[in-house]
Each structure stands twice: as C-alpha cells, then as structure tokens.
Amino acid sequence: MADQVQVSEEDILLAKRIISAAERHDIPALKVLLKEGSANVMDPTATTATSPLHAAILSCGEAKDGKEAGDDAYQTVDLLLSNGAIWNDLNKEDETPGCVALRLGQRKIYENIVEAGVRAELLFAKMQALGLGDDDEEEEEEGEEVLEEQPAVKKQKVDEETAQAVTQAVEEEILDDVSKDNKAYLRSQLRYKPGILLDESDNAVMMDWETEIMQRHAETLIPKKGLKVMNVGHGMGIVDTAIQTHEPAEHHIIEGHPQVHQRLREQGWYDKPNVIIHEGRWQDILPKLVEQGVVLDAIYYDTFAEDYAALKEFFSEYVVALLAPDGKFGWYNGLGADRQVCYDVYTKVSEIDLHEAGFDTEWEDIKVPAGLHGSKQWEGTRRPYWTIDLYKLPVNTFVK
C-alpha cells in the first residue's frame, strides 16, 4: 500500500488532477502533470482511495463481448507504469491494479501489468543482491532470515523514532506468525490433524487437497524405476509416498523440523529400503552432498516459511550442482497463490531466473479441486493460501 503522508492543499489538488487525467486517459495532460507529481499519488480526501493506475483501469469498465478498452487506455497504463506506478499497490478494496483489470476482463492491460510486475521484481531482486536501496539490509543480516518479498514500495525518509516503531512491528509480526521466519518456524510446535498439518500460528503447512498435485510432480520427475531421487520437505509425506511408487534406487529426504522427524520415525520411513533421511535444513545439508559428489536424477523442493529468494538460491546454487545432465527438477509452485496477478508475476519471474541458471521450464496446468475457495477447508487456519483456479506445475531440465 502506498505510504500515507501529510499533504498540503496544493498536493491534494495535484493528486486530484493526476487521478482525473488518468481516469479520462488524457495522455497529454498526464505527461505534464507527472512532471510535477508522482504516478503513485492518492487523494486522501476521496472516500475510495485509488491510485492513478487503479483509476485508469477502473474507468475502462467491463470488457463486453471480448471488446476491450482502446489504445488510449492501454497507453495511459503504460505511461503510468513507465513513470514508476507501483504494479501491486492496493486500494481500499484490497485490489491491486492487476486484480481490477482481471475482474473487468481487460486482458491486454492485465498482461501489461504482469510484465511490469516481472520487471519490477527482477530489478528489486538485483538491487537487493547488490545491497542497493535497501534500508533494512543490516537488520536482515542480524535478524537471520529475510522476510517474504516486499513489494517495490515507495521509499520515504522516516525519522529514527518511526524506524524503531517499524522494526518493533516487524519483530512482533515474526513472533505472531512463525511462517515469516524459517528458523522460527522450524523451532515452533506443529499439529498433525486429519488432512492438514498446521504450524504454531495456525498456518496450514500442508493440506491433503494437494494430493493429486504431489502425485503428478512425482510422475513428471521420475519417468522410470531405479532412479536416484531427492525430496526436500516431508510435511505430510504425500509426495514421498508418491515417489515410493516409482521404486527409486535412492530416495533422499531432507527435513528440518524435529516433529516431522518424529513422524517419519513413527511411520517407519527410516526402515524403508533405499530411503536416506537427512535431518536438518537443506541450507546445511546440501553443501555436504555437493562436496561428496552426489548426483541425482530427480529433485523436488517444497519447503515452508521460505521466500522466493530461498527457492532461487536452491536451484541456482544446488540443483545445478547435484542434478544429472538429463535429470529433472520440480518445485511446489505456490508463491502468490492467494492473488492471481502475483501468481502470474512469480511464475514468469521464476521461469526467467531458471533460464538464467541453465534450465528450460515446461508448465502443466492442473485444476485445483472445485469448491476449494471460501470452503470449510480453511476453517481453523490463519488464512487461505490458495485462492486461484489453476496450479501451474513446473518441470525443469537443463537447457540442451
């Protein structure tokens, strides 16, 4: 959400003019106004706070009979995006500009926003990697784990008192929600219930509606018997059970949570032939396997309380080192699955990063079970982590 700042009468007037020009798709007026003001202004006096980007899309109305808004609307959106409009800014209705475009059936504008989101996230990640433009860098280093990706929010100068309050809020949120920090999650209490695994903060770590997805992952990664396979993250054991049906020569399981080790023990996984359990975080286990020269035919990754940066580290540092030249790599594609536009952006970002790391990606669409949305399924959980219709299952192989 754009930062709320104290604004003068003059600023409010300028905000109103920018939003109105965006709404009318008046490109010449917008070009002039954007020199004086920001593409992310919000009118604090408006009852339904909306950014210029939201306004430009909302005024297109619903696409009827496949007829979408004209070029002026598309170019207005383009102009705002190229002037720094935030692709995932939220309005008061908790919608991003992409959510609005999708709801109205404005596909061309939606695709434009997805592309902008991909560019913004790639740039943001590059800047973080270079240690640029990140005021929280020191905190992250001291505070062990990086939080989930933050949107490319507008930065503003904050005084020391405000900065302390923000730090405190972040720390409190970590305590309140263990899924925000991988090590905190791994120390927390888990609860196995029928069909669901919950963490201490009532987040659903794994649910059995994902069984078909897990089985398909195993099938797409393991084309024949006798292969060397590794799964990272045991959870409810659904994917490991599916892997077993393909009779691997070696079945490595990396798992970091002590209660999951206990569960593995109770269910006899330690005694299964060819199963090798590595207790610990993959970050600690994998460097040793690389050193030992382990080579695998299939690798699957599905952890919890880790962000996209962790997945990227996983494939660009370790899968490249451990996977056989004709091996296959799969991962649970659930990032941003509570908002279609975020899911689409992260699916594309991962494909680009995977390509850079040397992989081709093929996607298979799987329909999630009907009735998953808003159903009883989520009762007792902190929030639904899945609200969209299609799971995009990735299969990665080395570029030939």
Q: Sign of the CA dihedral 384, 90, 154, 98?
A: positive
Indicate the residue among 89 and 181 with the shorter CB distance to ligand SAM: 181
CB 225, min distance to ligand SAM, A: 20
C-alpha–C-alpha distance, residues 100 and 78, integer Å: 16
Indicate the residue among 60 and 337 with the shorter CB distance to ligand SAM: 337
C-alpha–C-alpha distance, residues 254 and 256, integer Å: 7
Indicate the residue among 90 and 372 with the shorter CB distance to ligand SAM: 372
Indicate the residue among 300 and 359 with the shorter CB distance to ligand SAM: 300
CB 58, min distance to ligand SAM, A: 37
CB 302, min distance to ligand SAM, A: 4
Other beta carbons within 10 Å of 68: 18
Indicate the residue among 263 and 339 with the shorter CB distance to ligand SAM: 263
Indicate the residue among 21 and 198 with the shorter CB distance to ligand SAM: 198
- Identify the CA nearest to 166 among candidates 143, 182, 189: 143
CB 186 within 8 A of CB 256: yes
CB 385 within 8 A of CB 334: yes
C-alpha–C-alpha distance, residues 305 and 303, integer Å: 7
Indicate the residue among 25 and 257 with the shorter CB distance to ligand SAM: 257
* Helix ranges, the chain (H): 9-23, 27-36, 52-58, 71-82, 97-103, 107-129, 137-142, 160-176, 182-187, 211-221, 238-244, 258-266, 282-291, 308-313, 320-322, 340-357
CB 109 within 8 A of CB 77: yes
Residue closest to ligand SAM, measured at CB: 235
Query: DSSP 3-state assignment of 211?
Result: helix
CB 269, min distance to ligand SAM, A: 12
CB 370, min distance to ligand SAM, A: 21
**At a CB cut-off of 8 Å and minimum separation 6, what does 248 contact?**
222, 225, 226, 227, 228, 229, 274, 298
Cα first-last separation, the chain: 43
CB 380, min distance to ligand SAM, A: 17
CB 295, min distance to ligand SAM, A: 21
CB 300, min distance to ligand SAM, A: 7
Interaction site with ligand SAM (CB under 6 A): 182, 205-206, 214, 232-239, 254-257, 260, 281-283, 302-306
The arrangement of strands across the sheet holding 359-367 comes to: 275-279, 250-255, 228-232, 296-301, 323-331, 390-398, 359-367
Q: What proportions of the chain, in percent to the nearest 5, are helix, strand and coil? A: 45, 15, 40
CB 218, min distance to ligand SAM, A: 9
Kind of pairing between the strands at 204-207 and 196-198: antiparallel
Indicate the residue among 74 and 185 with the shorter CB distance to ligand SAM: 185
CB 316, min distance to ligand SAM, A: 16
CB 210 within 8 A of CB 231: no
Indicate the residue among 302 and 351 with the shorter CB distance to ligand SAM: 302
Indicate the residue among 281 and 339 with the shorter CB distance to ligand SAM: 281
Query: DSSP 3-state assignment of 236?
Result: coil
